[in-house]
Amino acid sequence: MPRDLRGFINLLEERGQLCRISAPVDPDLEIAEICNRMLRVGGPGLLFENVKGAKFPVAVNLMGTEERICWAMNMEKPEELEELGKKLGMLQQPKPPKKISQAIEFGKVLFDVVKAKPLRDFLPPCHQVVIKGDKLDLNDIPMIRPYPGDAGKIVTLGLVITKDCETGTPNVGVYRLQLQSKNTMTVHWLSVRGGARHLRKAAERGKKLEVAIAMGIDPLLLMAAATPIPVELSEWLFAGLYGGAGVHLAKCKTVDLEVPAQAEIILEGTITPGEMLPDGPCGDHMGYYGGVEDSPLVRFHCMTHRKDPIYLTTFSGRPPKEEAMMAIALNRVYTPILRQQVSEIVDFFLPMEALSYKAAIISIDKAYPGQARRAALAFWSALPQFTYTKFVIVVDKAIDIRDPRQVVWAISSKVDPARDVFILPDTPFDTLDFASEKIGLGGRMGIDATTKIPPETDHEWGEPLESDPDVAAQVTQRWAELGLGDIDLSEVDPTKFGYRMS
């Protein structure tokens, strides 16, 4: 049976990770306030069944934990995400197998690609109800307004689907849309994104750009669309590879585009090149309101939806947010691909507190002088999503990069700022980053926090302090004998006084 949003909601409910709310709630500010509190404590997904002024229920925070994101991707443990990354890395840079086992493994990956081919539905659930022309009213969709300074209601988890007017190649992206009227919205996308490129091509040929928005979709499709990995696969094939089976697609009613057949709501429309309206301000992932920016206007003329549809949404802001949790999961997918492109990298981590991409910590197996700097420079160019990473901290492989205490110790004990910090000025940058002096242009900093070897330093490095292994083993064996068995050392936090009793 094809995957859909309803199936995922049922899964969360079966596993005690969904809370149904029947009390009336307001989509203006209140839903976001409730969800924000749940995100801070790792709470369950929420299904608001009685939204004021709305015909549809609203689902939010379904992907608010790394565990639930794994479930969305047909996995149980985060470690399985790295296996997916290995598969994608093999497709991205295939190498001739040297062993029979490697040939078999590559053959399995190719078979997975065959299984991932999209399928066609001719009586799709997303077409159960069709609304066209003057009867279309976008206000029927219970869009939320998350923050009091937001200019209007927004769509955040919709797949924005366009097509290259020359080659016919589709692009599937996740872009924010802002309600402008009963039948129009502005779409906020960066100029480097696929949808923006398609619009420029349409403008060159004097054509309108056809657009479809798929809302209330299987979260797996969102994860696939949010993964900008340079594999030469269509997003639909990529999503099928994620899920282990082909995505069911359906032809739109009024535009020449294909959409997920199991989607809850589909909007169909066009963009006339040059037709723009102010978009914003809107709360963004940086933790501030984004500025007002003229953005393309989408005119919608058709809406289709399932019977009794469910609207899936989220919102941006300072972590923790759903988008930050998605980024944490994607980190694990990127890791094998990054190792393949930058061989010295052992592991890497994008802390959620650093907005999931502004700071990266990478560990290397250091073998020669200058290697940390090389690794940092290679990281910035390895994948498109690392273009806007401001800080790269390089540490030795012995450092646990997910332990901030160890990382801070490495920086404090191994870094001479005059020698080990380097800055790249005036590089292309995130237009939403207000820290830059010039919007869209900023600097990047690399920090070499590895142990220095000649000629990086002229003196010998000190020997690290370590316990005597025999004495350490002896103390471990005698722990209960010493009367300390009630103290669980795994729960001790050295940054605080006291300890936790097991």
Q: What is the pLDDT of residues 16-62, one digit of tens each?
A: 999 999 999 999 999 999 999 999 999 999 999 999 999 899 999 99
Percent residues over pLDDT 90 in the chain: 59
pLDDT of residue 269: 98
Contact (Cβ atoms closer than 8 angstroms) between residue 141 and residue 179: no
Query: In whole angstroms, what is the distance from residue 217 CA to residue 114 CA?
Result: 23
Residue with tokens 């790249």: 424
Q: Please tell me the predicted confidence (pLDDT) of residue 488.
A: 74
Token duo for residue 262: 């199991």
- Please classify residue 423 by burial: count the beta carbons closer than 10 Å to its beta carbon, then call 0-12 exposed, 13-18 middle and 19+ buried: exposed
Cα–Cα distance measured from residue 483 to residue 348, given in angstroms and rounded to the nearest whole number: 40
- Domains along the sequence of the chain with CATH: 5-312 (2.30.110.10), 342-449 (3.40.1670.10), 469-502 (no CATH)
Q: Between 412 and 460, where is the model more confident?
A: 412
The Cα–Cα gap between 436 and 84 comes to 35
CB atoms within 10 A of CB 491: 10
Confidence (pLDDT) at 502: 39
CB 403 within 8 A of CB 409: no
- Residue from 270, 283, 164 nearest 213 by CA: 270
Note the pLDDT tens digit of each residue in 375-385. 999 999 887 77
Given a contact cutoff of 8 angstroms between Cβ atoms, the answer to whether 6 and 18 are in contact is: no
pLDDT at 494 over 70: no
Flag the least confident range among 113-117, 222-226, 432-436.
113-117
How confident is the model at residue 497, as a pLDDT? 41
Q: Is position 468 annotated as part of the catalytic site? A: no
Q: What is the mean pLDDT of residues 331-355?
A: 84
442 phi and psi angles, rounded to 5 deg: -155, 175
Element (DSSP H or E) covering residue 330: helix 322-341
CB within 8 A of 30, min separation 6: which ones?
none
Summary mean pLDDT of the chain: 88
CA 107, chain centre distance (Å): 29
pLDDT for 499 beyond 50: no
Which pLDDT score, from 0 to 100, does residue 431 have? 74
Q: Which two tokens stand for residue 472?
A: 């350490």
The pLDDT tens digits of the residues spanning 82-111 come to: 877 777 766 665 555 556 665 556 566 655
Q: Where are the alpha helices (DSSP H) in 116-208?
A: 194-204
pTM given for the model: 0.85
pLDDT at 459 over 70: yes
Give pLDDT, residue 460: 85
The model's pLDDT over 412-439, given as tens digits with 9 standing for 90+, comes to: 999 999 999 999 998 887 777 788 888 8
Q: Which of 4, 140, 279, 284 is catalytic?
A: 284
- Does residue 126 contact residue 306 with C-beta atoms inside 8 Å? yes
Residue the block writes with tokens 């963004």:
284
Question: How far apart are alpha carbons 299 and 502 in whole angstroms?
Answer: 61
